[in-house]
Amino acid sequence: MTKTTKSRPKATEKPERGGVQSVRIAAKILKALAYEDGAQPLKSLASATGLARAKVHRYLTSLRNAGLVSQDPDTGHYQIGPAAVTIGLAGLRRISPIGEVCRALAGLRDTINQTVTAAVWSEAGPIVVAMQESDHWATMNIRIGSRLPVLTSAIGRLFLAHLPEAMVRPLVAAERDDARSGGLTVPTVDELENLLGEIRQRRLSRAPSALLPDVDAIAAPVFDHRDHLVAVMCVVARSDAKITGWNGSAVRALTDVAADVSVRLGFTNDQERPAPALPIARKLRNRRPSA
């Protein structure tokens, strides 16, 4: 009688709950390559993944054979290969930034039970494209399709902080003219420059009681794989809720959700974004007196 024995899985395909461990390890190495700038030596990849160099080298050999990793013949350093680039681009073409933001918006509203909105940039300025209202009573004069001011709204200021100066300059000048003729208060040139600097540093824009009395707003950016600002997500809450301060619970939830959407859109740069070479406020100071 022939004795049968159960075949054991190969060491490189060790099963784990819900999948194969080797695939998870390969993905970990690919992510380490994706999040670093330029080609990486074996030593750096081993350090980034927490794996032994010999193990990383075996996986890199297989990934290179599959076209997912390439190796510089002169330095021996590794980088993302052509097959991985093709897969990534195919995935990005199938992603709708607005769709991703809208889907995330509902989850954010459910998490904090506050009204949340999302806006994109248009020739007329920030336009609200999605809104999820909370159970809390609050008088709102903003709806889908509403255009927001750039100087006084949390969303508008965030766009000012990250978009090219030439794109936003006409709107800033027009709003200053309107404020001057209507006797309204907008940030001075110096105040605006300070606000935009803080927004770039925090990656958050906060506007207490800016558009509505006793209603605060705080906004966070959503970037894509090109490092472009594609949308802004915003939480709107009554001031007495005390959740929109820099360390408030709504702020933490908003930051996490906006960052998660950015990652899904291919954004990988988690470094501080540099200020524009020609700050908006400084150029305007030379053009006209502040309001």
32-64: pLDDT as tens digits: 887 776 788 899 899 888 999 999 899 989 998
Residue 278 scores a pLDDT above 50: no
User: Model's pTM, two decimal places?
Assistant: 0.62
Angle, helices 97-112 vs 249-264, to 10°: value is 160
Alpha-carbon torsion, ordered 71, 75, 78, 79, to 10 deg: -90
Under 8 Å between Cβ of 148 and 123? no
Instruction: Please give the CATH topology (third level) of the domain spanning 11-82.
Output: Arc Repressor Mutant, subunit A (1.10.10)
Highest mean pLDDT among 70-79, 132-141, 151-160, 232-241: 151-160
> Which CATH superfamily groups domain 97-285?
GAF domain (3.30.450.40)
Q: What gap in Å lies between CA 123 and CA 159, rounded to an integer?
A: 12
Q: List pLDDT tens digits, range 211-234.
A: 666 788 899 999 988 889 999 999
Q: What gap in Å lies between CA 41 and CA 35, rounded to an integer?
A: 14
Domain ranges of the chain: 11-82, 97-285
